[in-house]
């Protein structure tokens, strides 16, 4: 089957691209919002460079040119904590992907890196990042934001049991098991 993307809609493009590029890393991004620490999932993400250590997040722009809360927080506060998530966090990942900030109770947070927001308990990896750069992508409804990883937390148990949540296809949030 050959599909031409010359006259397709954004949702058709989303459907075919997410079937062609997989799995996608799933980063659960915690940032400081007006009423506390908020978190949201982002899957158009990747490593950009190792020196300096950079990762990217692609932020869609909502109708009416409204920016995502995490995008605004990164530009205002210049910090965010990017997490990998475990299978038992899947429901919260999906809830936090709905519009409206998903705020976290203090009991779910670990404050351990001075000058950065806290990390979320139970996540196997947390990258403490500073804002680095933004690319406004030509003729696209997206901003590509680059973050610099300044510190990283890795749960030692995770080293032997690497099954974080990733994205497959348009809606699949799954763990990958290979033998």
Ligand X SMILES: Cc1cc2nc3c(=O)[nH]c(=O)nc-3n(C[C@H](O)[C@H](O)[C@H](O)COP(=O)(O)O)c2cc1C
Using the minimum distance from each CB to ligand X, give the nearer residue, 56 or 119.
56
Considering only CA atoms, give the Rg of the chain. Answer: 16
Task: Give the nearest residue (CB) to ligand X.
Answer: 97
Name which of 126 and 173 has its Cβ closer to ligand X.
173
Tell which one of 43, 56, 89, 166 touches ligand X (CB under 6 A): 43
- Minimum CB separation of residue 152 from ligand X in Å reads 21
In angstroms, what is the minimal distance from the CB of 100 to ligand X? 7
User: What is the DSSP code string of the chain?
Assistant: -----SS--HHHHHHHHHHHS-SEE-EEEEEEETTEEEEEEE-SEEEEEETTEEEEEEEE-BGGGBPPHHHHHHHHH-EEEEEE--GGGHHHHHHHTSSS--B--GGGEE--STTSPPEETT-SEEEEEEEEEEEE-TTSSEEEEEEEEEEEEE-HHHHT----EEEETTTEEEE----
Cα(64)–Cα(101) distance, integer angstroms? 18
Q: How far is the CB of 1 from ligand X (least distance, A)?
A: 26
44 binds ligand X (CB under 6 A): yes
- Cβ proximity to ligand X, 19 vs 157, nearer residue: 19
Residues 47-106 that bind ligand X (CB under 6 A): 58-60, 68-70, 94, 97-99, 101
Question: Within 137-176, which residues bind ligand X (CB under 6 A)?
Answer: 167, 173
Size of the site for ligand X (CB under 6 A): 20
Residues that bind ligand X (CB under 6 A): 26, 38, 40-44, 58-60, 68-70, 94, 97-99, 101, 167, 173
């Amino acid at each position: 089957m050959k599909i031409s993307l010359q006259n397709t809609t954004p949702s058709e493009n989303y459907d075919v691209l997410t079937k062609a590029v997989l799995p996608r890393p799933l980063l659960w991004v915690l940032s400081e919002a007006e009423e506390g620490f908020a978190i949201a999932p982002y899957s158009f993400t990747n490593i950009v460079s190792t020196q300096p250590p950079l990762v990217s997040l692609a932020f869609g722009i909502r109708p009416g040119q409204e920016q995502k809360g995490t995008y605004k927080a990164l530009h205002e506060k210049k910090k965010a904590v990017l997490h990998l998530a475990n299978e038992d966090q899947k429901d919260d990942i999906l809830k936090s992907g709905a519009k409206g900030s998903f705020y976290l109770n203090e009991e779910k947070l670990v404050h351990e890196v001075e000058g950065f927001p806290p990390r979320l308990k139970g996540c196997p990896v947390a990258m403490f990042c500073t804002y680095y750069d933004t690319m406004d992508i030509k003729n696209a409804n997206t901003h590509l934001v680059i973050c610099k990883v300044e510190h990283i937390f890795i749960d030692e148990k995770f080293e032997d049991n690497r099954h974080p949540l990733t994205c497959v296809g348009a809606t699949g949030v799954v763990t990958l098991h290979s033998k």
